[in-house]
Amino acid sequence: MLEKLFSGFFARTFWSFSVFVLTLSAFFTLIHISRQSELLNQDLTARGLSYAENMATASELGVFSENPYFLLPMVKKILQEADVVFAAVYTASGQLLVTETKGDRFAIKNEVDAVDLNRLLDEKSSFNARRWLKDIEVIEFWAPVIVSKRVTDEDIFLDSDFLEEGDAEELADVGRVIGVVLVRLSQDRIATRLNDLMMTNLSITLFFLPIALLITYFMARSITGPILKLNEGVHNLEQGGHFEPIDVSDTNEIGDLAASFNQMASSLKRKDAEIMKNMQRLSALNHIASVVSRSLDIKQILQDALVELLNVTSMDAAWVCLRSSESGKMALVAAQPIDNPRVVRDELIAISKHMEETEQVAGDAVIIEDASKDVALELKNCAGSFRGLVCIPLISQNNLADGVIYIASFEQYEFAEDELDLLFAIRDEIGLAVQNSILYEQLKEQLQETKNAQFQLISSARLASIGELAANVAHEVNNPLTGILTHTCLLRDGREWEESDKRRLDIVYNETMRIRKIVRNLLDFSRQGETERSTTDLNEVVKETIELVSHHAESANIKIEDNCVDRLPLLYLDSTQIKQVFLNIINNAVYAMTGGGVIKVTSSANDAYVQVDISDNGPGIPAHVLAKIFDPFFTTKPETKGTGLGLSVSLGIIKEHDGVIEVDTTEGKGTTFTIRFPMSKENLPIS
- pLDDT confidence tier of residue 160, bands split at 50, 70 and 90: very low
Is the pLDDT at 675 greater than 90, yes or no? yes
Mean pLDDT of 77-83: 87
- pLDDT confidence tier of residue 610, bands split at 50, 70 and 90: very high
Mean pLDDT of 379-396: 66
pLDDT for 159 equals: 44
Comparing C-alpha atoms, which of 285, 287, 338 is closest to residue 316? 338
pLDDT for 601 equals: 93
pLDDT for 157 equals: 47
Comparing C-alpha atoms, which of 527, 531, 303 is closest to residue 437? 303
Range with top average pLDDT, 56-65, 468-477, 670-679: 670-679
Q: Tens digits of per-residue pLDDT, 406-417? A: 888 887 777 666
Average pLDDT, rounded, for the chain: 75
Is the pLDDT at 636 greater than 70, yes or no? yes
pLDDT for 531 equals: 63
Which residue pairs from 9-17 have beta carbons closer than 8 angstroms and sit at least 24 positions apart in sequence?
A: 9/224, 9/227, 9/228, 9/231, 10/220, 10/221, 10/224, 10/228, 13/220, 13/223, 13/224, 14/216, 14/217, 14/220, 14/224, 17/216, 17/219, 17/220
Say what the alpha-carbon torsion angle 591, 594, 595, 598 is, to the nearest 10 degrees: -10
Q: Which CATH number fits domain 420-528: 3.30.750, 2.60.40, 1.10.287, 3.30.420?
A: 1.10.287
Name the CATH architecture for the domain at 531-678: 2-Layer Sandwich (3.30)
- pLDDT confidence tier of residue 331, bands split at 50, 70 and 90: confident
d(CA 265, CA 3): 28
pLDDT for 381 equals: 45
**Structure-model confidence comparison of residues 489 and 645, the more confident one:** 489
Is the pLDDT at 442 greater than 60, yes or no? yes
Range with top average pLDDT, 86-100, 119-133, 287-301, 442-456: 86-100
Query: Quick check: 394 and 402 in contact, CB under 8 A?
Result: yes
Is the pLDDT at 234 greater than 90, yes or no? no
Mean pLDDT of 213-240: 67
Mean pLDDT of 650-667: 88
Task: Please count the other Cβ atoms lying within 10 Å of the Cβ belonging to residue 424.
Answer: 11
Is the pLDDT at 158 greater than 50, yes or no? no
What does the DSSP assignment read for 452-511? HHHHHHHHHHHHHHHHHHHHHHHHHHHHHHHHHHHHHHHHHHHS---HHHHHHHHHHHHH
In degrees rounded to 5, what are phi and psi of residue 686?
-70, 135
Mean pLDDT of 309-320: 79
Element housing 272 (H / E) = helix 253-294
Hey, what CATH topology would domain 309-415 get?
Answer: Beta-Lactamase (3.30.450)
Q: Which residues contact 607 (CB under 8 A, 6 or more apart)?
A: 679
d(CA 101, CA 329): 137
- pLDDT confidence tier of residue 643, bands split at 50, 70 and 90: low
CATH code: domain 11-194 is 3.30.450.20
d(CA 91, CA 162): 13
Q: Tens digits of per-residue pLDDT, 423-440? A: 777 777 777 677 776 677
Domains of the chain, by residue range, sit at 11-194, 247-294, 309-415, 420-528, 531-678
d(CA 575, CA 582): 10
Least confident of 144-148, 173-177, 583-587: 173-177
Residue 145: strand pairing partners: 179
- pLDDT confidence tier of residue 598, bands split at 50, 70 and 90: very high
Q: Tens digits of per-residue pLDDT, 512-571? A: 877 776 676 566 555 544 567 888 899 999 998 888 888 888 888 999 998 888 888 899
Q: Tens digits of per-residue pLDDT, 260-284? A: 777 777 777 777 777 776 676 677 6
Q: Which residues contact 616 (CB under 8 A, 6 or more apart)?
A: 589, 592, 593, 597, 598, 599, 600, 670, 671, 672
- pLDDT confidence tier of residue 613, bands split at 50, 70 and 90: very high
Common-topology check for domains 11-194 and 309-415: yes
Query: Quick check: 75 and 87 in contact, CB under 8 A?
Result: yes
With a pLDDT cut of 90, the percent of the chain lying above it is 5
d(CA 302, CA 580): 46
pLDDT for 357 equals: 67
pLDDT for 635 equals: 74
